[in-house]
Amino acid sequence: MIQHNENPGMAQNMYSDEELITHFPGFTNQYATVNGVRLHYVEGGTGIPLVCLPGWPQTWYSYKPVAVELAKTYRVIIVDIRGMGSSEKPQSGYDKKTMAADIAALLQQLGLTNVHLMGHDIGGMVAMSFAFNYPQFTQKLIVLDGSHPSEGLMQMSLIPPRGTFAGKMDADRPYAWWMGFNQVKELPEKILAGRFQYLLDWLFQYVMIDDSKMSPLERAVYASSYNDAESIRAANAWYQTFQQDIDDAQTYQPLAMPVLGIGSYVSYNYMKMGLPYVAKDAQVVGILDSGHYLFEERPAQVLDAVLRFLA
């Protein structure tokens, strides 16, 4: 069931979908119940559908630096994945295969059978899972600083290598402590509920080269979206299913459609090494003067890479 342009359960405030969509000229809010979960998405533009999936700890609003330009050529559909923003936050279903099924069911409701897919961070994991499980619906795939969980995650350090855990993430030996912290059940939401802004500000400073590119409004939008215990619990569930995701990856065949990986200074080398193992037609572009939040730091370079690849 698709419901258009209303969300009765969402408070009317400056960070609501209704208010934020005014920053996306030509886009509208939409809501759909698919695969047993109610999803929020925004849509604008015409042409071949380009489905965009955001990552942690952001929402659909993270595509603001690129969405309007992309909508000049494509029908852009940005989805708050299961557990994100004003999409529903059920107790289960956070493995990437189930989340990909959410997207497949949404596209089925919309009557779409052939789309481009783009995902950042956790959204990139879901996008890759979609491509693995629904290759017949995937024309081209773009992943930015996030690919499907693999056994490589099991090699991440519990303790940071000597001299690497400083003001900025080390590109050669990155220490992503939150990958472990988010595995813990029930405790993070007790610690962070009402205080999520502290984590956001530290994270942006650590993984961005220039964290001033993440505006005060954007920070407030994401703090508002993740500041309650249920939202923290749901977002952490994306991480708590990694073992299932790794097991699922063992059953997938290499991707045959064209795949573009876009990596920041943190992830470019890892994507360049890893993506060709799971995609037959892969290219990887490095935006090495950007940290993890590429849309905010280098939107023009992202747009150039994406539009060239899709064209």
Structure token digits, residue 48? 């071949």
Name the phi and psi angles at 22, rounded to 5.
-65, -15
CA separation for the pair 42, 235 (Å, rounded): 20
Here the contacts of 155-160 (C-beta below 8 Å, separation 24 or greater) are 156/180
Residue whose pair of structure tokens reads 């890759």 in the numeric block: 128
CA separation for the pair 295, 263 (Å, rounded): 12
CATH number, domain at 298? 3.40.50.1820
CA separation for the pair 188, 57 (Å, rounded): 14
Question: How would DSSP label each residue in 65-86?
Answer: HHHHHHTTTSEEEEEE-TTSTT
Q: How many CB atoms lie within 10 A of CB 265?
A: 18
pLDDT tens-digit profile of 136-163?
999 999 999 999 999 988 888 889 999 9
Q: What is the pLDDT along the chain (311 residues), one digit of tens a residue?
A: 544 444 444 444 899 999 999 999 999 999 999 999 999 999 999 999 999 999 999 999 999 999 999 999 999 999 999 999 999 999 999 999 999 999 999 999 999 999 999 999 999 999 999 999 999 999 999 999 999 999 988 888 889 999 999 999 999 999 999 999 999 999 999 999 999 999 999 999 999 999 999 999 999 999 999 999 999 999 999 999 999 999 999 999 999 999 999 999 999 999 999 999 999 999 999 999 999 999 999 999 999 999 999 99
CA separation for the pair 191, 242 (Å, rounded): 23
Provide the domain limits for residue 175: 2-310
What is this structure's pTM?
A: 0.95
Count: domains in the chain: 1
